[in-house]
Structure 1
Amino acid sequence: MESLDLQLVHALYVDGRASFRRIAAVLGVSEQTVARRYRRLRESGAVRVVGRLDPRYLGHAEEWVIRLRCAPSAALAVAQALARRPDTYWIRLASGGTEIVCHVQTSDQRARDTLLLDKLPATREVTSVEAHQVLRLFRGGVTGWHAPVASLSSGQVADLAPPAPQDPTLVDLDDGDRLLLRELARDGRMHHAALAASTGWHESTVRRRIAHLRARGALYFGVDFDEHLVGDFSHTALWISVEPAALDAAGTALARHPQTSYAAATTGPTNLMASVTCVGTDTLYEFITTGVGSLPGIQTVQSSPVLRIVKRAAALT
């Protein structure tokens, strides 16, 4: 991947809805160049910006990490079926293809119970189900990984960064919001005019509502990007047991490592779950032994190498 393309991807990680004009000014190229490069990356499937909701600001919304074990011949089909659900994201095949790690974000308790209590247990190919509710997010969402390789200077990042949420509070969504978010989940950079046509709102209303949801901390924009385009990266899911008194300190310290793309305190037999990205097995070994091993209160660590990512980011609709 060319340097300018990587800079553009990094810029989108910083603010997925930044205008081409603003990105071009920061990168020192023409607006037409940025637009052309983005269209090429988008059409090839290398980059996709999606609107996401932060469940912390949705009142009764919940986030779960589901860990399934399946017959090897059926794991991909089960993962693909889960990927078709609008409430799932970051679905991965791990541990030699016998394990599925799936994130679920939902505000519908009936749909959650149907999935966990009925559909998954009734699937013959699924041999075990562990459901870990997320209690505290240390890294992920809007605080997640902002580029597989740093390509912008700190000054450029500061110039592009959107304003911090001004008044993070719980948000009630109406039917118009859900229509808006459904479109942003498909294309986070969809033009305001197209969003207005989909929602029936005036274009100014669309602009105002997006700004309102972002200011409240409820809406942010994530990026699907295949990091293998820039290096031999591998993903690993970590399931860590930590002494309860040290859980907050361990989670906070783990989130500071650049290899960590996601870290959360959860319920279940382990109480700290993380997703890490490393280059090669030696780097992963060093990260587990020195990075994770030095965390306070560590008792056990399980690692599940990811073989395939079936679904990346998606928005709650």
Structure 2
Amino acid sequence: MSDSDARLIHALQLAPRATWSELSRVLAESPVVLSRRYERLRESGVAKVIGHPSGFNISRNLAFVEIDCEPGSLAAVTATLVELPMAMTLDVTSSGTCLIATLIAPDDESLATVLLDTLPSLPGIREVQTHIATSTLKTGDNWNLRALDAEEAALLPAPRPPRARAARTLDPQFRSDLMASLGKDARKPAAALARELGVSEQKVHDAIARLVHTKQFLLRTDVTSAWSEWPVHVWYFADIPPRQLSTVATALSAHPEIRYVGTSAGPANLAFDVWLRNLSVIHVFEERVSSLAQAGIKLRRQVILRTPKRVGHVLNDAGRFTDRYIPLSGL
């Protein structure tokens, strides 16, 4: 990755809908150059500004499911789950028969239906272990490339707050359609969104400001892990002594390599995933994690070899974005 590409992606990770002129003042390159660079990265599937409803803030509606498949059935099970809107992300582990599905549902009943009816009925699934989220401390939209220094990052514009005259509530269908369009491409101009949705440009600006300000919708700039120089993706499911769970979870959320941290109810009481520079540092990382607790931590790792789907976007075998996007429904 070139330094210029890394700086642009980091800037977009911190300010996903900043204008090219605003980014130009920080990155010291012309708006046209920045726009063309981003289009090159986006069209090649390396990086993309996307978003998703913030179901991570809804306890019991988010679950991480370890799905063990019969030998030879992993591809078929994965292909089926890719089409499931509530399967936000799918990660294939190094075992060759297991995948981890991040499920996000609009309500308890929907999640229960997927866990108790949909998954058990799929041919080829041998066993399912479910970790239901009870709290979330860090999500992937907080992870960044760390290519800008603190002074540069501070110059990036914060999201604009809603206007005083902006509507406080949104029509449910308009809200759903807008989030689906932003989920596919969160840098789509307000004018294009207005034409697509049949509303005024001002209404789009107001709605986006409201959704982002109230954290109903999370914007993020995602990058292919291999291209990011942190190619080793590992999920961990940990059993932490209850008295230390909050302390350990908070400490983990401060680690820059870690993308998600959350407490859970299930076989493990803490789930987190991390991107590392290489496999040789994995044991050093685990030693650091273990040192966070006074009593012992039981760690179980799942090394990820492929991610067929991330935040609703279908990825190719190289982990790059394709044109296919399956909106999260009902959130």
Q: What is the TM-score of this pair, normalised by structure 2?
A: 0.87
**CA distance, structure 2, for counterparts of residue 248 and residue 43 of structure 1:** 41
Letter in 2 for 1:158: A
Does residue 1:316 correspond to 2:325, yes or no? no
Identity of aligned pairs, percent?
Answer: 26
1:274 to 1:214, Cα distance in 2 relative to 1, 3 A: same
Whether contact under 8 Å (1:90, 1:311) holds in the other structure is yes
Deviation at 1:47, TM superposition (A): 1.1
Whether contact under 8 Å (2:63, 2:131) holds in the other structure is yes
SS at match of 2:17: coil
Deviation at 1:309, TM superposition (A): 1.0
Matching residue of 2:74: 75
**CA distance, structure 2, for counterparts of residue 80 and residue 50 of structure 1:** 22
Q: Superposition RMSD on alpha carbons, in Å?
A: 2.3
Among 214, 217, 221, the alignment partner of 1:216 is 214
Matching residue of 1:207: 205
1:163 to 1:189, Cα distance in 2 relative to 1, 3 A: closer
Matching residue of 2:144: 146
Matching residue of 2:237: 239
Letter in 1 for 2:84: R
SS at match of 1:132: strand
Matching residue of 2:64: 65
Whether contact under 8 Å (2:211, 2:217) holds in the other structure is yes
Encode CA deviations 1:156-188: one digit per residue, 9 max, x unaligned.
11222524989xxx9876111001011111111
Whether contact under 8 Å (2:93, 2:305) holds in the other structure is yes
Deviation at 1:73, TM superposition (A): 1.7
Matching residue of 2:23: 23
Matching residue of 1:289: 287
**CA distance, structure 2, for counterparts of residue 245 and residue 296 of structure 1:** 10
Deviation at 1:303, TM superposition (A): 0.7
What does 1:148-227 align with in structure 2 at a 5 Å threshold?
Answer: 150-160=146-156, 162-163=158-159, 174-227=172-225
Whether contact under 8 Å (1:88, 1:103) holds in the other structure is yes
SS at match of 1:113: helix
Where is the helix percentage greater, Structure 1 or Structure 2?
A: 1
1:255 to 1:191, Cα distance in 2 relative to 1, 3 A: same
1:51 to 1:93, Cα distance in 2 relative to 1, 3 A: same
Matching residue of 2:47: 47
Deviation at 1:223, TM superposition (A): 2.1
Whether contact under 8 Å (2:65, 2:100) holds in the other structure is yes
1:37 to 1:61, Cα distance in 2 relative to 1, 3 A: farther
**CA distance, structure 2, for counterparts of residue 288 and residue 260 of structure 1:** 12
What does 1:85-96 align with in structure 2 at a 5 Å threshold?
Answer: 85-96=84-95
**CA distance, structure 1, for counterparts of residue 123 and residue 225 of structure 2:** 34
Letter in 2 for 1:176: F
1:270 to 1:230, Cα distance in 2 relative to 1, 3 A: closer
Instruction: Return 97-106 or 86-95, whichever deviates more.
Output: 86-95
Matching residue of 1:305: 303
SS at match of 2:260: strand
Deviation at 1:104, TM superposition (A): 1.3
Deviation at 1:228, TM superposition (A): 1.3
**CA distance, structure 2, for counterparts of residue 146 and residue 230 of structure 1:** 10
**CA distance, structure 2, for counterparts of residue 161 and residue 248 of structure 1:** 32
1:71 to 1:161, Cα distance in 2 relative to 1, 3 A: farther
Query: Tell me, which stretches of 5 or more residues in structure 1 are unaligned?
Result: none
